[in-house]
Copies of this chain bind each other. A is one copy, B any other.
Amino acid sequence: MSDAARPITVHDPTLRDGHHAVRHQLGREQLRAYAAAADAARVPVVEVGHGNGLGASSLQVGRARLADDEMLSVVREALAHSKMAVFMLPGWGSAKDLRRAVGHGADLVRIGTHCTEADLAERHLGELRADGVEAHGVLLMSHMAEPDRLAEECVKLVGYGACGVGILDSSGHYLPADVTARIAAIRAAVDVPVMFHGHNNLGMAVANSVAAADAGAHIIDACARGFGAGAGNTQLEVVVPVLERLGYRTGIDLYKLLDAADIAERELMPAPPTIDSVAVVSGLSGVFSGFKARVLDISRREGVDPRDVFFELGRRQAVAGQEDLIVDVAAALAAKD
């Protein structure tokens, strides 16, 4: 493969993205046990927090069992080698949340925005940069923008102060060639490390992550057993040995990583994520899997096929926050029947 022996930084959001799968209910001992195991395996970065990031715990998206401060304190204490990362979506979290997280020892801050709205990260990235904090800007639902547009948004993020950029395949829509085109465009446009974060709706999370690395990505996100919303994320203990076999260096101890994944399966989750039929449709239609419960509910009420609703939402380019569209789409489909 290209770029043999190139180092790859694996970034592990098990304790943040995985939170979506357990309604943000992880407790202190769970965080401690997994963070310590990931640290022992020398996973370079461990991200922690509410699934929607700092400050997001709320009735609307779910109250976390622990406050942000508690999560950060527990994980900070468990990490001797790994960096601790946090995630923040402007609007859900605030500059105050960021300051508190840095105060609790966050080494790396990611500011996430919709893929065409990098400007929402401007102020936060500027302030973090001024404070000397390592801050990255990352783009959600990135399949909704073409490679050139993503590259432009990443150039903006770097201009705002980001010392790393990246794209999330939030709805698990990509096939490898899609990732190759986007990472290559971003690599050609910026000089900072580039990240790829995959979801497994189409069974392609590992292959997409390899495509990202082959296209020049420096940072690969992956979660133990794929622990994450819906069909889950790129499976950490799978992608690491696959990358190593292809000639990349991760610096991670395989046996200790497998041990950490066993701990994650036993301690964090009722069961590892699998790809159910709704996840397939969500991935194909490019609709955020967080819509699932409401789509099923509203479709039942309107007597329409939830799969039709997903595909129509995809055609209308629905994004998180536009849950009202579900009702419109379902009603329109019902009227057509």
Chain A interface (Cβ within 8 Å of chain B)?
Answer: 1, 175-177, 200, 202-207, 210, 225, 234-235, 237-239, 241-242, 245-246, 255, 258-259, 261-262, 265, 271-277, 280-281, 284, 305, 307
Contacts and interface: CB of A to CB of B under 8 A. Distances in A.
15 contacts: A1-B177, A175-B210, A175-B242, A176-B207, A203-B234, A203-B238, A225-B274, A238-B275, A241-B284, A245-B284, A255-B307, A258-B277, A258-B281, A271-B271, A272-B274
A136 B13 CA distance: 46
Contacts of A273: 274
Contact residues of A: prevailing secondary structure: helix
Contact of A204 (B242, B275, B280): B242
A258 to B, nearest CB: 4
Instruction: Give the copy number.
Output: 2
A327 B204 CA distance: 37
Given A177-B1, A258-B280, A284-B245, A275 B203 contact: no
Nearest to A258: B277
Given A242-B204, A280-B258, A274 B271 contact: yes
A134 B145 CA distance: 48
Contacts of A203: 200, 203, 205-207, 234-235, 238-239, 242
Please indicate which of the listed interface residues A205, A238, A258 has the most CB atoms of chain B within 10 Å of its own CB: A238
Contacts of A276: 262, 265
Nearest to A205: B203
Contacts of A205: 203
Nearest to A271: B271
A237 B280 contact: yes
Contact of A202 (B175, B206, B255): B206
A277 B305 contact: no
B241 A277 contact: no
A232 to B, nearest CB: 9
Contacts of A271: 271, 274
Given A207-B207, A238-B280, A265-B276, 14 more contacts: A1-B177, A175-B245, A175-B246, A176-B207, A200-B203, A202-B206, A203-B242, A238-B275, A245-B284, A255-B305, A262-B276, A271-B271, A271-B274, A273-B274
